[in-house]
Amino acid sequence: MRLRKSPATTKAVGPSPSPAPLSWTDRTLLAVALVAGIAVTAAGEWELARQVGISRTVAPLLAVVIDVYVLAAVRAAKGRDIAAALTMMGGAQVAAHLLRTGHISASVALVAAVSLVAPVVIWRVHALAGAGRAVIAPEVPKPTMDLTRVGTPPWKPSAQKWPLPLQPPAQRPISAAPTGGSGVVTAVVDQKPEKAPEIPQKPTADVIVRRLYDELGGRPATRHIRQALADANLPSSDGSCRQARLRVEHEEPELKELPPA
């Protein structure tokens, strides 16, 4: 049987543990790759801005916008934004080179895509600015109690000893009863309980129905049984009459052979 792993316990709210620090070589390689990549792609992004109709004065800012997005994504270490920023940077390079070589022209879709770069970058950079900030819950101080002014706590037993158990009262010796007194009357009491008067019980329906066989000299009909049960203040429905006759004939099967009364 495979044991089910227990779910990981949730930790208290706070900043996530920081990764292991990078070595000097790793930091140098990352910085060189980032600076060189931005420098190489800046010219293509500037050229793309000019090809889609942006003025020469404002065209360099397109490279600044895309590069700022790349730096913000790398600094926040968000994988999706890093992929989106690098895709934007690579797409700008491909579009600029295709426009320069004449393979494509400045279509409506390309102009619209370049025009939306700045708003999208503003949105994502603002979102990444607060990505690394973790909400730290304020530490709630534990309640304290000043025991210097308090007497015995309610959960602590008092120093008073338990009272001693009560002693039974002293009993006086019982003196023997005087014998032979002239005023003493001796009576014999019967210890047997008195019997309750016997109440005659009503005959059951079976007894009454069995008696009808003898009185009528034959098998009684339902009307005979109903009348006899009603006279005895017993249930006298048709079902009760038939059930009583069946019980009697079950005890004495020969009664079934009698002719109907």
Per-residue pLDDT, 10:
47
Per-residue pLDDT, 136:
59
Per-residue pLDDT, 26:
80
Nearest C-alpha neighbor of 249 from the set 228, 220, 217, 216: 220
User: Residue 182, SS3?
Assistant: coil
Q: Please give the single-letter amino acid code of residue 44.
A: G
Calculate the CA dihedral of residues 115, 121, 126, 127 and round it to 10 degrees: 120
Q: How confident is the model at residue 200 (pLDDT cuts 50, 70, 90)?
A: low
What CA–CA distance (Å, rounded) separates 44 from 99? 10
3-state secondary structure 45-62: HHHHHHHCCCCCCCCHHH
**Taking all residues of the chain, what is their mean pLDDT, rounded to a whole number?**
75
Q: What is the pLDDT of residues 59-99, one digit of tens each?
A: 888 888 888 888 888 888 888 888 988 898 888 888 888 88
User: Residue 260, SS3?
Assistant: strand
Global pTM reads 0.40
Question: Do residues 91 and 143 touch, judged by C-beta distance below 8 A?
Answer: no
Cα–Cα–Cα angle for 23, 26, 30, rounded to 5 degrees: 140
pLDDT average, residue stretch 104-133 = 83
| C-alpha to C-alpha distances, 44 to 20, 60, 86, 89, nearest whole angstrom | 36, 10, 14, 9
Q: How many CB atoms lie within 10 A of CB 260?
A: 9
HSE of 100, CA atoms in CB hemisphere, 13 A = 14
| Sequence spans of domains, the chain | 24-129, 205-257
Q: What is the pLDDT of residues 148-190, one digit of tens each?
A: 555 555 555 555 555 555 666 666 666 555 555 555 555 555 5
Per-residue pLDDT, 240:
85
User: Residue 107, SS3?
Assistant: coil
